Amino acid sequence: DATFGWTRYYNLAEIDAWLDTMLAAYPDVTSGFVLGQSYEGRDIRGLLISYKWGNPGVFIESNIHAREWITSATATWLINELLTSKDELVRELAESHDWYIVPVLNVDVFVYTHETDRLWRKTRQPSRISDCVGVDPNRNYDSHWMENGGASSNPCDETYAGPQPFSEPEIKAMSDFVSILKDKINVMLAFHSYSQLLLSPYGHTAEEFPENYADLMQVAKAYSDAVHQLPYGTIYKYGSSAGILYPASGATNDWAYNEQDIKISYTIEFRDTGNFGFVLPAAFIKPNAEETLIGIMALLAESKKLGYMEPKYT
């Protein structure tokens, strides 16, 4: 179908065309941006939604893991809601934040998962020391890189951290862009699937916790409670990444927290809990997206209550 209805998953060309449509339809409040180019030379695109200069900023990174299709489906649905919803609470949410949304960070592999190998996790950049291809982009940020067994040095492993931090152009592009903007960004959300989890820093160790860990858990609880109250009653657990999942170093939300001073920073693992896993049927896109919107609404309200949504500089 030609229209975007979130009843099936869309490929990169369709998402790009849809972004252009939204930019053309809402020129006063949207701006397109390009983080940089992928290994294969594609533009890594994002959309800024800003109704008012000086709003607190929310950055959404989606599909760093390309096979997690529910993430870009949800991110595009969110963009649509923020721009078109007439619901008073959604309008307030949309208009009182600056939204930097990158629906597909790992563009090359998004194409690859559509055309060649549905379950490819890593990047597609070849290795100089091995015939195995690709790096786990969510181990490639320069923050506790390769520490504590939170990533692998073996190019054939699914959690290979790369030959050095930021070896992957997509991750370097994210880093360069966010570094410039960091004073405008109060919240970092990295969309993943699956397991239904809200994961705070740290990822590199379960022995230590961030100084605002209690706040991070209070904010995560607000998200989890809001989602649970909806008709589906979906359960999201929360905790630190290394604490409740496994050690993972060099991930987006840890880097944002540790290196970019973004103190509300989570990895969100969407539906489901393993029945379908990465190959979540399209019928789940809308329920997943709807509860994500409600969750984010609660997350931002709680963050504001705790004082995290003030401008970071004046």
Q: Cβ closer to Zn ion: 66 or 101?
A: 66
* Binding residues with ligand 0X9: total (CB under 6 A): 14
Largest CA distance in the chain: 55
Stretch that binds ligand 0X9, among 89-97, 168-176, 221-229, 240-248 (CB under 6 A): 240-248
Residues lying near Zn ion in the complex (CB under 5 A): 65, 192
- DSSP state for residue 145 in the 8-state scheme: T
124-137 exposure pattern, b = at least 16 Cβ within 10 A, e = fewer: bbebeeeeeebbbb
Rg (CA), the chain: 18
Q: Cβ closer to ligand 0X9: 65 or 124?
A: 65
- Per CB under 6 A, contacts with ligand 0X9 among 58-117 are 65, 68
Q: Cβ closer to ligand 0X9: 55 or 150?
A: 150
Of the candidates 87, 91, 89, 35, the one whose C-alpha atom is nearest the C-alpha of residue 63 is: 35
Q: Is 203 in the site for ligand 0X9 (CB under 6 A)?
A: yes
The least distance separating ligand 0X9 from the CB of residue 138, rounded to whole angstroms, comes to: 4
Q: How far apart are CA 160 and CA 150, in angstroms?
A: 10
Stretch that binds ligand 0X9, among 23-31, 82-90, 249-257, 293-301 (CB under 6 A): 249-257
- Give Cβ neighbours of residue 140 (< 8 Å, ≥ 6 apart): 161, 162, 165, 166, 167, 168, 171, 250
Q: Is 292 in the site for ligand 0X9 (CB under 6 A)?
A: no
- DSSP state for residue 65 in the 8-state scheme: S
The least distance separating ligand 0X9 from the CB of residue 222, rounded to whole angstroms, comes to: 20
Q: Is 253 in the site for ligand 0X9 (CB under 6 A)?
A: yes
Q: At which residue do the structure tokens 């693992």 appear?
A: 269
**Coil vs helix vs strand at 61:** strand
Residues that are catalytic = 269
- Per CB under 6 A, contacts with ligand 0X9 among 17-56 are none
Q: How far apart are CA 101 and CA 303, in angstroms?
A: 19
Q: Cβ closer to ligand 0X9: 107 or 189?
A: 189
The least distance separating ligand 0X9 from the CB of residue 46, rounded to whole angstroms, comes to: 20
Q: Is 244 in the site for ligand 0X9 (CB under 6 A)?
A: no
Number of residues written out for the chain: 314
195 and 273 Cβ atoms separated by less than 8 Å: yes
Stretch that binds ligand 0X9, among 15-23, 76-84, 245-253, 293-301 (CB under 6 A): 245-253
Which alpha helices (DSSP H) does 154-284 contain, by range? Answer: 169-181, 213-228, 241-244, 252-260
Q: At which residue do the structure tokens 């990444």 appear?
A: 241
**Would you give the binding string for ligand 0X9 spanning residues 161-200, x where CB under 6 A is met?**
-------------------------------x------x-
Binding site for ligand 0X9 (CB under 6 A): 65, 68, 138, 192, 199, 203, 241, 245, 248, 251, 253-254, 267, 269
